[in-house]
Structure formats: C-alpha cells, structure tokens
Amino acid sequence: MDWIKPDWPVPANIHAATTLRDGGNSQPPYASLNLATHVGDCPEDVAENRRIVRQALKLPAEPFWLQQIHSANAVPATAGSEKPPIAADASFSRQAGVVCAVMTADCLPVLLADEQGQTIVAIHAGWRGLAAGIIDNTLKQLPAHRYLAWLGPAIGPDCFEVGDEVRAAFVQRHRAFATAFKKQGQSKWLANIYQLARINLWQHHIDQIYGGELCTVSAPDCFFSYRRDGQTGRMATLIWRD
C-alpha cells in the first residue's frame, strides 16, 4: 500500500496521510483500496482494507469515521469508532492517539494543525460543504491558535464544471469567491475548489496553506473519482498526533 505524506511544516508529533486507490482487496468498480462502507462494496473487503491502512500507517487507533452528508457540521473526535458514525463533515481533537479522518473521491480533504502540535482537524470540503460554511463552523469550535492547512487531492480546476447556481452560492457569501470561477460557456463555469478553500482560510487569517496540486479526475491510476467514474470507491485523508 502506498500513500501521500503531506508536505507541510507541522510539529514532529503531527502525522498525516492520504491513501491511494491501490493495495486493497476490493473488486471493480471499487478496485482496490476502497475505505467506504456506503458505496455498495463488499463489507468484508472494506473491513480488510481498513485493517491494511491501520497496519501500514501504524495508526494508534481506529479512525474516527464520519457519515459525511455535505453539511457544515463539525464534531469532536473521540478514541475509536465502534459506535455508528456521526453525521458530520469535519472532526477535530486535542487528544493524542485519536485519528481524525475524511473520505473523498473528488471533494477536497482539508487538514489543519496548530503550530503547537496540540489540535488536529480533518474536513470534508465538497462545494456544498464549503458553501454551507464547513470551514467556518469548524474553526469556531477550535482554540484561537495559529493554524497550518494542507489541501489534499480533489477535482482539479480544469475538470470541475459547474452551473450558475454553484457560483452564486459562493459569491452571495463573499465577492472574493468570484476569483475562483472561470467562464466556460453559457451558464457554465470552471470552479477551482482549492482556491475556494484558500479564500475561506484566508478569511480566518490562515495563510500557511500547503498542497492543492493533485487532481483526482485526471489521475485514474492513483485516485478514485466520482465525477469520472460514477460508482467508485473512496480514499481517506487522516491526521493524528502523539
């Protein structure tokens, strides 16, 4: 199993990774390291894939999996995830040994960590969640420290065509979001989801932002992509601290 190790200058006690699509047990169209239980994959294969990830990354605990609903809900993560997943799109913790996690297949995973290495955050930032305020609602619940951000693999700005209603949802929030859209034809725009997240983070005075270069749609050997394939698996982006 291979994975992406975020390149960002966080304290040494902060660990993070994004899984790739290879190295698991799932069969097409979920081949092969699908980590989602809600996409129609064989439950036994998903369980084995999650075991592979825990072992390969030497995770201190089972990740705190969420039932992601494209909302603005952010919740504190607790050790283990034996209980049914909470319906939310971000989790955070100040506890060592807790693994915050989000699953994606085109939506943007956003990780945050403070400069002291105390607080960790994982955010599932699809366009609906971003427009609803998932970043804002998460940061409202965090201590007032300086944070670093890392943007994981997501649908790239050359692949994400949206309609007028998506652009309007952001521009109505703040006119600064208009710079993340490029006209593509009548009532069509190319949206830069990385830039939408950056603008939102800048609004909260977070300017140490890393990542945001990897397109899930254009790299089928590495990433699952819902926009490209429809029925498909999910990668996980995880963060934990010692």
203: Cβ contacts below 8 Å, ≥ 6 apart: 174, 176
Q: How many domains does the chain have?
A: 1
Does residue 176 belong to any structural domain of this protein? no
Q: What is the pLDDT of residue 79?
A: 77
- Angle (CA) 127 106 9, round 5°: 90
Does residue 168 belong to any structural domain of this protein? no
Does residue 197 belong to any structural domain of this protein? no
Question: 3-class DSSP state for residue 119?
Answer: coil
Q: What is the pLDDT of residue 81?
A: 59
d(CA 165, CA 238): 32
Q: What is the pLDDT of residue 229?
A: 96
Tokens 């504190």 sit on residue: 76
- Angle (CA) 199 203 205, round 5°: 110
For residue 134, the enclosing domain spans 3-154+206-241
Over its length of 242 residues, how does the chain's per-residue pLDDT go in tens digits?
999 999 999 999 999 999 999 999 999 999 999 999 999 999 999 999 999 999 999 999 999 999 999 999 999 998 765 677 899 999 999 999 999 999 999 999 999 999 999 999 999 999 999 999 999 999 999 998 999 999 999 999 999 999 999 999 999 999 999 999 999 989 999 999 999 999 999 999 999 999 999 999 999 999 999 999 999 999 999 999 99
Question: 3-class DSSP state for residue 112?
Answer: strand
- Start-end of H helices in 123-171: 127-132, 134-140, 164-171
Q: What is the pLDDT of residue 80?
A: 63
DSSP letter, residue 12: T
Max Cα–Cα distance, the chain, nearest Å: 51
Q: What is the pLDDT of residue 78?
A: 86
Please write the tens of the pLDDT for every residue from 52-94.
Answer: 999 999 999 999 999 999 999 999 998 765 677 899 999 999 9
Tokens 């994400």 sit on residue: 160
Does residue 200 belong to any structural domain of this protein? no
Does residue 100 belong to any structural domain of this protein? yes
Give the pTM. 0.96
CATH code, 96? 3.60.140.10
Does residue 179 belong to any structural domain of this protein? no
Does residue 173 belong to any structural domain of this protein? no
Does residue 47 belong to any structural domain of this protein? yes
